[in-house]
Amino acid sequence: MLRHIPPRPLFAVLSLVLVTSSSGVQASAALPVFKADPMQTSVSGLSSGAFMAVQYQVAFSKTVRGAGVVAGGPYYCAGTLGYTAAAICMGMVPFMPPNPSLMLEAAQAFAASGQIDPLDGLQNDRIYVFSGTKDTVVYQQAVDATVDFFKLAGVPASQIKYVNKVPSGHALITPKYGNSCAANAAPYISHCTVKGSGYDQAGDLLGHIYGKLNAPVAAPAGQIVAFNQREFVDAGSGMAGDGYLFVPGSCAQDSSRCKVHVALHGCEQSVAVVGNDFYSDTGYNNWADSNRLLVLYPQVNASTAPYNPKGCWDWVGYTGPAYATTSGVQLAAIKAMVDRLTARP
């Protein structure tokens, strides 16, 4: 159960709101200022959130130490083709997988022109990649291309963990919560058994990125707060009015030794669609509570302008041609949120 944390000096000028349910938010406040380590940021996501996690990792590689990519394709896969490239990028066209070499050329061009960080920033990063064998939304040939892209971009193979034998559908995987393992259905959270034990995907990807972690707590005691995303981006971005942040008690008391993980939901998986399932039941908070980890849950909703009927993160360019660069409106908004959480004198 989530509990309220007594006010600390860090929050003296902020009114934080406890989220008791998907509809129990009284009001949204400003995202609080923390002093988390700016060089200990990581990102992960499912589906469109995974494509977005790849974009964030590549665009801001100087300050992102690792990424978790669950059912996502390679960087800038859609290029300038938009939705017409979606089927190829999702691996839905037999014998026509995404071409990671073309994606690398685009990334190199963006880096050379200063539109993303230099690619050598990836060399020390750690990448977790997952593709379920029963996934009928983003097929394995697309995810294979993601692994190949990171290798071509300079990430050593020893720093890439590719989990591709679990008989799961299109979902984030937990030990117990959600649909049966092979499901490809809302809320796109499933439980799977691997080698006799429930597979804890959040722990596997965070452990790969950060190394040995303290054991997760059975029930997070930290606080979920809603915050106003409009401070960072307008409605024309497709992003929702509110985002969410999990704050462990240890970070509320002293955030100087805390880290930030950005967890990006998939299509049709925002709070507006699945309630608190993504930010409460995917396992991130259980690990965050015992490992001084702030978890940022940005939100994007379905919209007609921009055209985003399923509430997906922008990996096809619906917010404009710069969508995969540091000036892309969604990427820049998330980076500004991370900067708020890692602000230091």
Residue with tokens 């009284």: 26
CA quadruple 307, 313, 318, 319: dihedral, nearest 10? 110
Sign of CA dihedral 156, 158, 160, 166: positive
Point out which residues pair with 194 in neighbouring strands. Answer: 197
Task: State yes or no: is 170 an active-site residue.
Answer: yes
Q: Which residue has the tokens 């995974």?
A: 50
SS3 readout for 4-35: CCCCCHHHCCCCCCECCCCCCCCCCECCCCCC
Using DSSP's 3-state secondary structure scheme, residue 109 falls into: helix
Contact between 168 and 140 (Cβ < 8 Å): no
Annotated catalytic residue: which of 28, 42, 47, 280? 47
Q: Is 120 a catalytic residue?
A: no
Strand 223-228 versus strand 242-247 pairing type:
antiparallel
Find out whether 44 and 65 touch, Cβ atoms under 8 Å. Answer: no
Supply 200's token pair: 């804890």
Give the sign of the dihedral formed by CA 92, CA 96, CA 98, CA 100. positive
The answer to whether the peptide bond before residue 306 is cis (omega within 30 degrees of 0) is yes
What secondary structure, in 3-state letters, does 139-183 show?
CHHHHHHHHHHHHHCCCCHHHEEEECCCCCCCCEEECCCCECCCC
Query: Do 230 and 29 touch, CB atoms closer than 8 A?
Result: no
Catalytic option among 61, 144, 170, 277:
170
The answer to whether residue 289 is catalytic is no
Choose the catalytic residue: 125, 135, 200, 242.
Answer: 135
Active-site residues: which are they?
47, 135, 170
